[in-house]
Amino acid sequence: MNSVVCIAQVPDTEARIKIADGRRIDETGLKFIVSPYDEFALEEAIRVKEAKGGDVTVVSFGPDRVQQALRECLARGATKALHIKGESGSADALGIAKTLAAAIRSVPHDLLFFGKQGVGTDNSLVGPMVAELLGYPQLNVVTHLEVGEGKITAHREIEGAEEILEASMPAVITAQKGLNEPRYASLKGIMAAKKITIETKTLPDLGLQESDIHHQRVTVVALELPPEKSGGRKIDGGEPATAAKEILKYIREEAKAL
Amino acid sequence: MAGVVVFAEVKDGRLKKASREALSIGRKLAQTAGGDLVAFGVDRAAAEEAGRYGAKRLYVAPLTAYTTGPFTTALKQLVDQVKPSIVLLAGTSNGRDLAPRLAARLNVGVASDVDRLEWTGGKLRARRPVYSGKAFATVEVSSTPAMATTRPNAFTAEEAGGETAEVVQIAGPASDDKVKLIETKTAEAEELTIAEADIIVSGGRGLKEATNFSLIRDLAHAIGGAVGASRATVDAGWIDHQHQVGQTGRVVSPNLYIAAGVSGAIQHLAGMSSSKHIVAINKDPEAPIFRVADLGVVGDLFQIIPALTEAVKKAKAH
């Protein structure tokens, strides 16, 4: 049972965002991490490998810094890594999906794992787009997965309910928090990861035209910070009944919510 | 080549609120982009309501429960036939599942989770929160059609007073043999979800233990809101992840957000600071949550929340 995990490298969730030229974030001094939802995707693929054998290949499209993210995934238990070099920041979700789909075609796979969204760009688009491009079923926002003989069963989170879906393989799974508890890299894993060569490819290697990937369909024309909030009134809540009355007054008169 | 197609989702015989919002902004877009606003759905009973929100026609596919494959095929057929300028889907679970699949099949662009939309210079311009609300990106979708998913609560649902939409039956797609829906398990007491709620009452680590979430639930219930939670409480296993507000949870923008015992980590603030009215209750006067609160109350939530719940109940009884 071979799995591919597509990962995105994103700014640390604790980082403050600064804007560079009105269109991009300023990467100076910014710490990057593996997108948090991708960690659940990777963990699930490693568990499948531990139960059924096979490879876990991590794939990422981006500039050279993504090698660090791939290395981290290898340390946690992925067995192979593929870096597609390019400025993923100027590609829209479909451009990224086309790149990943082209790369995945040459990697043996039964299951494709993604995070349910890349934290930062917050699109929630790439996994299902890859599923469509490859003609596979998609199981989106998955909180539980069982891999059987030739088919998988997944629990999908929807508003106020949960769906249980059965799909044939190969299939695309997008991971939601709660799917598992991701492990940390062990020292042994970190040492072993150093011996693995990260394969690199370019868009032309994959038979793709730069012009179909970059600056197409959806383009960012402006990026701005939200207006700074100054904080409003602060009151002393030492007397609970009085505080409750004040809050209720605010709710009724300003929020007009009752 | 004109007009706007909106995926109209129905729940319990009514259009979902998020779909009514999508229809409302869709109607405005159709006024500038030209052409009609039309709806796509699977329930002809929605025709009257869809009409009130401005849809001229409701295209009905012979499908029942949502699964990705057949819905994609049906909506693709409709788009090929109608050739709209814009396709909108509400950012519900199903809208977010269907939009990327359809966009990839049409080879077009989609802007996700947008909170502003306009048609300008022959293109769809959208604003969307990125980095979990730490920044806003304005994007231009230049493909035909241009697609977007609308963020629940970001647009106002406004009736346009139109006639019942004309129902047009469309052909049914072949069934999907790759995915089968086995079962849908509804939560026992159906709770409002934070993504769609107008009011959210959130609890943080200040609650001290899982059972104290009952204080938050009681207030949420009294006020008619959804229960939110900070990441710390979710990671501690006090409450399910579906309630988590902020990065790795949900970015929300309700009319009223009440935070009790939430200190305000940067990820949480990013996820809720675009709420229209914010009340924070925290015993630490230096808590970062007060920086975004319109009304900050420095005090003991264990006393103030029950008092507030009682006050709300009394106010509602009158």
- The 3-state secondary structure of chain B reads CCCEEEECCEECCEECHHHHHHHHHHHHHHHHHCCCEEEEECCHHHHHHHHHCCCCEEEECCCCCCCHHHHHHHHHHHHHHHCCCEEEEECCHHHHHHHHHHHHHHCCCEEEEECEEEEECCEEEEEEEEHHHCEEEEEEECCCCEEEEECCCCCCCCCCCCCCCEEEECCCCCCCCCEEEEEEEECCCCCCCCCCCCEEEEECHHHCCHHHHHHHHHHHHHHCCEEEECHHHHHCCCCCHHHEECCCCECCCCCEEEEECCCCCHHHHHHHCCCCEEEEEECCCCCHHHHCCCEEEECCHHHHHHHHHHHHHHHHHC
**Does the structure show a pLDDT above 90 at B186?**
no
Q: Which of the residues B96, B191, B252, B269 would you substitute to probe the A interface, choosing the one with the greatest number of A C-beta atoms within 10 Å?
A: B96
Whether B190 is covered by a domain: the verdict is no
- CB distance A68 to A32 below 8 Å: yes
Whether B176 is covered by a domain: the verdict is no
CATH number at residue B65: 3.40.50.620
B1 pLDDT tier (thresholds 50, 70, 90)? low
Whether B268 is covered by a domain: the verdict is yes
Both B153 and B219 in one domain: the answer is no
Cβ contact (<8 Å) for B97 and A19?
A: no
Both B263 and B139 in one domain: the answer is no
Q: Quick one: which of B240, B90, B101, B232 has its CA closest to A161?
A: B240
Looking at the DSSP bridge assignments, the partners of residue A219 are B140
| Tens-digit pLDDT profile for residues B161-173 | 889 999 999 988 8
Whether B181 is covered by a domain: the verdict is no
Alpha carbons A60 and A58: distance in angstroms, whole number: 7
Torsion, Cα of A142, B221, B92, B50 (10° steps):
150
Cβ contact (<8 Å) for B132 and A119?
A: yes
Cβ contact (<8 Å) for A125 and B110?
A: yes
Both B19 and B146 in one domain: the answer is yes
Query: Does the CB of B236 have a partner CB in chain A at under 8 Å?
Result: no
Cβ burial B190-214 (10 Å sphere, 16+ → b, else e): ebbbbbbbbbbbbbbbbbeeeebbe
| Tens-digit pLDDT profile for residues B110-130 | 999 999 999 999 999 999 999
B189 pLDDT tier (thresholds 50, 70, 90)? low
- CB distance A165 to A174 below 8 Å: no
Chain A contact set for B260 (CB, 8 A): none
B270 pLDDT tier (thresholds 50, 70, 90)? confident
Q: Hey, which CATH number is domain A3-213, 2.60.40.1120, 3.40.50.620, 1.25.40.20, 3.30.390.50?
A: 3.40.50.620
ipTM given for this complex: 0.94
Cβ contact (<8 Å) for A217 and B109?
A: yes
Query: How far does CA A184 lie from the centroid of its chain?
Result: 18
Which 78-137 residues of chain B touch chain A by CB within 8 A?
A: 92-94, 96-97, 99-101, 103-105, 107-113, 125, 128-137
Which 249-288 residues of chain B touch chain A by CB within 8 A?
A: 249, 251, 255-256, 258, 265-267, 273-274, 276-279, 281, 285
Alpha carbons B315 and B89: distance in angstroms, whole number: 38
Both B213 and B153 in one domain: the answer is no
Both B76 and B223 in one domain: the answer is no
Q: What value does the mean pLDDT take over residues B157-183?
A: 90
From the CA of B142, how many Å to the nearest CA of chain A?
5
Both B15 and B138 in one domain: the answer is yes
**Does the structure show a pLDDT above 90 at A14?**
no
Both B81 and B133 in one domain: the answer is yes
Both B152 and B42 in one domain: the answer is yes
H-helix or E-strand spanning residue A145:
strand A138-147
Both B290 and B207 in one domain: the answer is yes
**Which of B67, B97, B128 has its CB closest to that of A128?**
B97
Both B97 and B229 in one domain: the answer is no
Chain A contact set for B87 (CB, 8 A): none
| Tens-digit pLDDT profile for residues B292-310 | 999 999 999 999 999 999 9
From the CA of B296, how many Å to the nearest CA of chain A?
4
Could you tell me the two tokens for A77? 């238990």
Q: What value does the mean pLDDT take over residues B172-199?
A: 83
Pairing of strands B295-298, B123-130: unpaired
- CB distance B187 to B242 below 8 Å: no
Q: Which amino acid is at A99?
A: T
CB pairs under 8 A between A and B: 292
User: How far, CA to CA in Å, does B155 sit from each of A137, A220, B88, B201?
Assistant: 32, 21, 13, 21
Domain count, chain B: 2
CA dihedral sign, ordered A244, A245, A246, A249: positive
Give the phi and the psi of residue A165 in degrees, each rounded to 5: -120, 150
- CB distance B29 to B119 below 8 Å: yes
In chain B, the residue whose alpha carbon lies closest to the alpha carbon of A228 is B292
**Which of A121, A132, A258 has its CB closest to that of B316?**
A258
Pairing of strands A9-11, A32-34: antiparallel
Chain A contact set for B295 (CB, 8 A): 232-233, 235, 246-247, 250
Both B138 and B239 in one domain: the answer is no
Residue given tokens 């808590």 in the structure block: B287
**Does the structure show a pLDDT above 60 at B291?**
yes
**Which of A132, A165, A240 has its CB closest to that of B105?**
A132
- CB distance B251 to B132 below 8 Å: yes
B60 pLDDT tier (thresholds 50, 70, 90)? very high
In chain A, the residue whose alpha carbon lies closest to the alpha carbon of B192 is A160
| Mean model confidence pLDDT for chain A | 95
Q: Quick one: which of A50, A239, A128 has its CA closest to B98?
A: A128
In chain B, the residue whose alpha carbon lies closest to the alpha carbon of A229 is B292
Whether B194 is covered by a domain: the verdict is no
Q: What is the pLDDT of residue B317?
A: 87
B248 pLDDT tier (thresholds 50, 70, 90)? confident
Query: Does the CB of B10 have a partner CB in chain A at under 8 Å?
Result: no
Chain B contact set for A251 (CB, 8 A): 223, 256, 277, 279, 312
- CB distance A13 to B267 below 8 Å: yes
Give the phi and the psi of residue B128 in degrees, each rounded to 5: -145, 140
Q: Domain residue spans in chain A?
A: 3-213
Both B205 and B250 in one domain: the answer is yes
B290 pLDDT tier (thresholds 50, 70, 90)? very high
Domain limit, last residue, from B130, B153, B169: B169
**Does the structure show a pLDDT above 90 at B193?**
no
Alpha carbons A60 and A82: distance in angstroms, whole number: 7
Domain span holding position B235 = 199-317
B190 pLDDT tier (thresholds 50, 70, 90)? low
